[in-house]
Amino acid sequence: MEFEERGSDPVLLFMADKTEPGAWNFYLYKMFADPFNTAGLVIDPNMHDGFIFEVHDVMKKRRIEFRTPEEIYNLLAYIGAPSRYVIKYVKRKDGLIAASTSTQRLSLIAGKYVGKDDPVMIVRGQSGLPAVGEIMEPFSIPIIVAGWMRGSHHGPFMPVGLPDANCTRFDGPPRVICLGFQVCNGKLIGPADMFDDPAYNRVRDRCNELADILRAHGPFEPHRLSLEEMEYTTLPSVEKTLEKRWEPIPE
């Protein structure tokens, strides 16, 4: 991400563990396209025209841009399938870069499951972009993402401070930390541990409740990923050993 420094230029760096790049889709939509989350979309004249979302199809390696608010429904039709369609960039309509994410899926690069992707997202705030509080607000909602144990399960995405950034229970649950910086004279000042805040205690409690519910499913969907998504895990190795044991069903 390259940009010219502004008078006030906060930068938030989100780092996730045990999930995939599409985990950011929900949050970026809330930050840059949902006026119920971001008041600035309504009351800030510099944001009133909306934003441009660049979406990547990680399976076919192609990209497309959607302009919001006029193309919100088209945008949602794709980013609601985060295992395939991933928001790469968000830009203001004058070209100002607002957010950037990592979109690489390790299994597609390596040709087999070699671990989950542990994605990163960088978001700029203020001065015609969402305020820091508007960027942080979507993480008060407990959403379900793909990843967790062996990259093969759905689990709650838990925002935590640095001291709690240790994935332990069932190799998770998937979690995210946020480091806040201020750009000053070309340097990053900080960081502040943004999720080290009791304001996020409730969402963490709700994530633990969701983890209990999903773990009770064991090897059953929807805790385990759908068969289509399991193609990019270790399941194909199991299927290969059993392939010759399948027989046609007599008519």
20 pLDDT more than 80: yes
Q: In the prediction, which pLDDT does 239 show?
A: 87
Stated pTM of the model: 0.91
Q: In the prediction, which pLDDT does 116 show?
A: 54
- Burial track 93-118 (b if 16+ CB lie within 10 A, e otherwise): eeebbbbbbbbebbbeeeeebeebbb
Over the chain, what is the mean pLDDT? 93
Q: In the prediction, which pLDDT does 115 show?
A: 52
Q: In the prediction, which pLDDT does 26 show?
A: 98
182 pLDDT more than 90: yes
Q: In the prediction, which pLDDT does 105 show?
A: 57
Q: In the prediction, which pLDDT does 235 show?
A: 82
52 pLDDT more than 90: yes
Q: In the prediction, which pLDDT does 202 show?
A: 98
221 pLDDT more than 80: yes
Range with the lowest mean pLDDT among 80-94, 109-123, 177-191? Answer: 109-123
Reported as a pLDDT band with limits 50, 70 and 90, residue 126 is very high
Number of residues in the chain: 251
54, 82, 58: which is closest to 66 by C-alpha?
54
HSE at residue 230, side-chain half, CA atoms within 13 A, is 17
Q: What percentage of the chain reaches a pLDDT higher than 70?
A: 95
Average pLDDT over every residue of 219-227 = 94
Q: Which residue has the higher pLDDT, 151 or 223?
A: 223
